[in-house]
Amino acid sequence: MTSHNTRTSRGLRFGVLAFVVGGLLLLAGCSGGAPADPGAASPTSEESASPSTTPTPTQTRTAVYKPADASGPAQNVPVPVLPEVAKTETKEGLEAFARHWYSTLSYAYETGDMAPLEAVSQPSCGSCGKVKKEVTDWHSGGRWLTGGRVSVEGVDSNFVETQAATYQVVVQVRQERIDYHLSDGSVKGSLDPLPVTPDIIVAAYDGSGWKAQTIEHLAQ
């Protein structure tokens, strides 16, 4: 793959939302009674006090998210979860869906896994196909991407049908620099950060949920 400094290989610039998950869950249990009074028991008594028991505290550590860096690809990336409101044919539902779509896009760039994005996109989505080619190409043969995270700065829709159950939503997004790493860790090429840019998503509601038809940059 040639250097990406010229940006010739990408139609749309998309990237990764950073999600940080992790932490420590401490599960500890203690049981048992107070120590027996030595003066209360007869030396000839056949009964003996049961020793108190204190279970060893158990620590359960969740898998910690690690973003991609020069040493290797991202690890333990959380799978985006579709919010309940994003399942409704409402203005709020469409806007929540748009945010979710970018989170699945980000997940794809970090992991190479296109399944969540494809689940919320129509097969005819051309922009999705471009993303898939880049993602799969650069997550094969030991290669990976660093950076490229996208932050959604704003989402808005007038929620007017353009076709039956089809609407448009404008999303303001910002993207970090992307570095393309070969399997030995060297950087093949890079893309500079992208400032806040308006994208438009055309999405259709099929009765069970939203699917993205097209995603394009708006002319500025």
Helix 126-137 / helix 91-111 crossing angle, nearest 10 deg: 20
Please give the chain's pLDDT, 220 residues, in tens.
444 443 333 445 543 333 222 322 222 233 333 333 333 333 344 444 444 555 555 555 678 999 999 999 999 999 999 999 999 999 999 999 999 999 999 899 899 999 999 999 999 999 999 989 988 999 999 999 998 777 899 999 999 999 999 999 999 998 888 899 999 999 999 999 888 999 999 999 998 899 999 999 887 6
Contact 22, 64 (CB under 8 A): yes
Separation CA 16–CA 182 (nearest Å): 19
Domain locations in the chain as residue ranges: 1-220
Enter the pTM of the model: 0.72
Q: What is the CATH number of domain 1-220?
A: 3.10.450.540
SS3 state of residue 58:
strand
Q: Are 157 and 143 in contact (CB under 8 A)?
A: no
Exposure string over 10-39, b if 16+ CB within 10 A, otherwise e: eebbbbbbebeeeeeeeeeeeeeeeeeeee
